[in-house]
Structure 1
Amino acid sequence: MNKMKKIAILAAAAIIAVSCSNGTKADEAVTGEAQEVEVITEATDYELVEGSYLKWRGFKSFVDWDHLGTIGVQSGTFAVSEGQLVGGSITIDMNSIAVVSIKDEGKRGYLEGHLKSQDFFLVDTFPTAVFEIIKVREEATDEASSVVVGNLTIRGITNSIEFPANVTVEAGTIQFTAPTFSIDRTKWNVKYHDSEDATIAETLKEDLIDHSIELTINVSATNA
């Protein structure tokens, strides 16, 4: 198939995208170049507790199709100074990607393997993702009390992100939650068959999958 016909097909897909969407997306995190992380020397360290996790949602733009899942947190520490969260790092276990929206075991396993493969997160090469907190500023919204700024590294690529969150520090415990927000996965090179020799079918599949991944954070830490 010649190049002009391929362009025509992709243009048609773009037109469909305008008229067919998969509901309202969560607000996208502000994304930019990686920022310098300050070394915190005078602070109390809090260790993440077992059971901390992230929820995710992926979907297609042109059809009524989405899937939900979780990703486990491998480890992490928070730094607290004068009762305020001032830094920290969360290591995410990409091998723990799980799909919770598919009941059939075979289909669920297939999608989990697909997400872990070189088509998406390439977990054999990049088994972890890391979020490093740069700063937390008080900025109240309807759903959050603060804005968290940090560096997110996925597939060896680091970008800064900024999103609303709720952070509470009391009685030796930190609760860090974030209302659902989205990131553009392509900024971390998470693309289906991202190569110059990708077939038309593979290119169309990538175009059908929305670039946004929705994330919800729920982690706890303690200094005990």
Structure 2
Amino acid sequence: MKKLFISLLFFLNIILFAQTKTVTFSEIRWKGYKTLKAESLSHDGTIKLKSGNLLFKDNEITGGNFVMDMTTMDADDLNNNKKLKKMFENHLKSDDFFDSAKFPESTFQIKSLKKLKNNDYNYQINGILTIKGISKNLSFPAKISQANNQTTLKSATFTFNRKNFGLQYNIFEDMLISNDVEMNITLIAK
């Protein structure tokens, strides 16, 4: 009973003293390479955000949650070849990689932030990335700024290991694909 009471007080404290801002703009960019990390052997594109919010206390971000719509994966680098673009996007969305029919959403939950003494990226964001139902800790530097009642979060380029999330193709093709997937995120919340 005592634990329930303490949990209830904690929850009420968050409700009474926390503020939530909704993400109104987002740009989520990804980039993948063959094992030889060259621009000519890479693909890049975007993923649309389904929903997102930032939690604040005393005008400082304390958390947040973002839901990415994996059915919207786009391969921008193939825009000049519509047939190849469609084929590649379908391949990424298939059970060979993201299996977006079974796992239409991926999430990132901010667990903590640490201020950095860096002009380009003033915070280290620590959280949990979930892809295909697999959750892993992930950290990245970001520039967070506030103006006109809106908060902008812009990440540095960061990577995650695709194999940690079960993103594997057949054994022969898999050896030709780099394990690292690069990402950049920009969010604006009001």
User: Residues of 2 paired with 1:72 and 1:156: CA distance?
Assistant: 19
Unmatched runs of 5 consecutive residues or more in structure 1 = 1-37, 193-201
Question: Which residue in the other structure is 1:11 paired with?
Answer: none
1:61 aligns with 2:29: no
- Could you list the structure 1 runs, at least 4 aligned residues long, displaced by more than 6 angstroms after superposition: none
CA distance in 1 between counterparts of 2:149 and 2:42 reads 38
Q: CA deviation at 1:46?
A: 0.2
| Cross-structure match for 2:4 | none
User: What letter matches 1:208 in structure 2?
Assistant: L
1:99 aligns with 2:99: no
* Equivalences for residues 1-224 of structure 1 within 5 A: 40-41=14-15, 42-49=17-24, 51-62=25-36, 64=38, 65-102=41-78, 103-141=80-118, 143-192=120-169, 202-222=170-190
Per the normalisation by structure 1, the TM-score is 0.74
Give me the whole-angstrom Cα distance separating, in 2, the residues matched to 1:77 and 1:116.
25
Post-superposition CA distance 1:9-61 (Å, at most 9, x none): xxxxxxxxxxxxxxxxxxxxxxxxxxxxx964321110110x41210000101
Aligned pairs, number: 175
CA RMSD of aligned residues (A): 1.5
Shift of the alpha carbon at 1:142?
6.0
Percent identity, please: 26
Cα shift readout 1:156-187 (whole Å, capped 9, x = no counterpart): 00111111011123332110110111111111
| Structure 2 counterpart of 1:166, one-letter code | K
The aligned counterpart of 1:23 is: none
Q: 1:162 to 1:104 in 2, by over 3 A?
A: same
Gaps of 5+ in 2: 1-9
* More strand, by proportion: 2
Distance 1:181 1:142, change over 3 A: farther
Give the SS at the match of 1:52: strand
TM-score, structure 2 normalization: 0.87
